[in-house]
Structure 1
Amino acid sequence: MMVERVPILKIGDVLLVSIQIDLQDQSVLALQEDLAEKISATGAHGVVIDISAVEIVDSFIGRMFATIASISKLFDADTVVVGMRPAVAITLVELGLTLGGVRTALDLERGMKILGVLGRQRRGER
């Protein structure tokens, strides 16, 4: 079976992941691996995961978003999930998933602003 892959685009020192497919467990696992490899290869300091096209999540996919953020953090990259639909937010809360460590923003522009502020703080700390 062919696993659909989610494209990962590099914009400056940020990786943009725009999920436009129906997420299956295998595609989420592939994304986790692909993203870890891309962060390592590029040295990106931020990851934006756009889930505006995602209509349904289950507990596995919800946990994987938190896992992806944890993996990104190990590579010194901050993660922002953008574009969450109200139904997805409600489902995550009903499943008891808080997405610990994952910042969220209403849209891509706000997500990029969050990473911009974090980027300036990071440069100031070094």
Structure 2
Amino acid sequence: MTGFSAARPAPVPVLALGDILLVTLQGDLHDGTAEQLQHDITHRIASSPTRVGGVVIDISGVEIVDSFLGRILAEIAANARLLAARTVLAGMRPAVAITLVELGLTLPGLVTALNAEDALALLGRTSSAAPPSHPEEGA
């Protein structure tokens, strides 16, 4: 045995930014990877030592969303909502939006934002709210 298993999907990183989880999707997301992501996000929210207030899923690197991925995104939002966290879908390309409408997917429970920065702002986190890194001289 070589120890290599092609059946196991590569995990998608789930980053914590304070009480927000940030997920950035790139390229095609295979069904197994999407299901694993759903499990990972739900587990991170439920097992976090501190309250997770929101989840940002940045899909700006995704060119195609099929009905399965649309359903997984809606289920991630539903799971997060049951665990008292809000979900924002960021960076949807126009072609993806058109495809979702054509498929009849409404993605209940998902709020959308143009980009990850806007998504963080919707969840109450903005980079402009950060204190300045250098105090003013002479103050």
Distance 1:38 1:21, change over 3 A: farther
Give the Cα–Cα distance (whole angstroms) in 2 for the partners of residues 63 and 2 of structure 1. Answer: 21
Q: Tell me the matched-pair count.
A: 117
Aligned to 1:122: none
- Secondary structure of 1:56 counterpart: coil
Aligned to 1:83: 91
> 1:6–1:20: 8 Å Cα contact kept in structure 2?
no
Aligned to 2:101: 93
- Secondary structure of 2:105 counterpart: coil
The within-5 A match list for 1:24-103 is: 24-42=30-48, 43-103=51-111
Give the Cα–Cα distance (whole angstroms) in 2 for the partners of residues 7 and 21 of structure 1. Answer: 14
**Superposition TM-score, scaled by structure 2 size:** 0.81
Post-superposition, which runs of at least 4 consecutive aligned residues in structure 1 deviate over 3 A?
none
Give the Cα–Cα distance (whole angstroms) in 2 for the partners of residues 25 and 48 of structure 1. Answer: 20
Deviation at 1:4, TM superposition (A): 1.6
Give the Cα–Cα distance (whole angstroms) in 2 for the partners of residues 21 and 5 of structure 1. Answer: 13
Q: Whose helix fraction is larger, Structure 1's or Structure 2's? A: 1
Give the Cα–Cα distance (whole angstroms) in 2 for the partners of residues 41 and 106 of structure 1. Answer: 29
> 2:65–2:96: 8 Å Cα contact kept in structure 1?
yes
Amino acid across the alignment from 2:74: A
Deviation at 1:2, TM superposition (A): 2.3
Aligned to 2:16: 10
CA RMSD of the aligned region, Å?
A: 1.1
Which digits, 9 at most, give the CA deviation of each residue in 1:68-112, with x for residues without a partner? Answer: 000000110000000000110000000000111100000011101
Which digits, 9 at most, give the CA deviation of each residue in 1:13-39, with x for residues without a partner? Answer: 000011124201110100000001111
- Secondary structure of 1:19 counterpart: strand
What is the identity percentage for the equivalent residue pairs of Structure 1 and Structure 2? 54
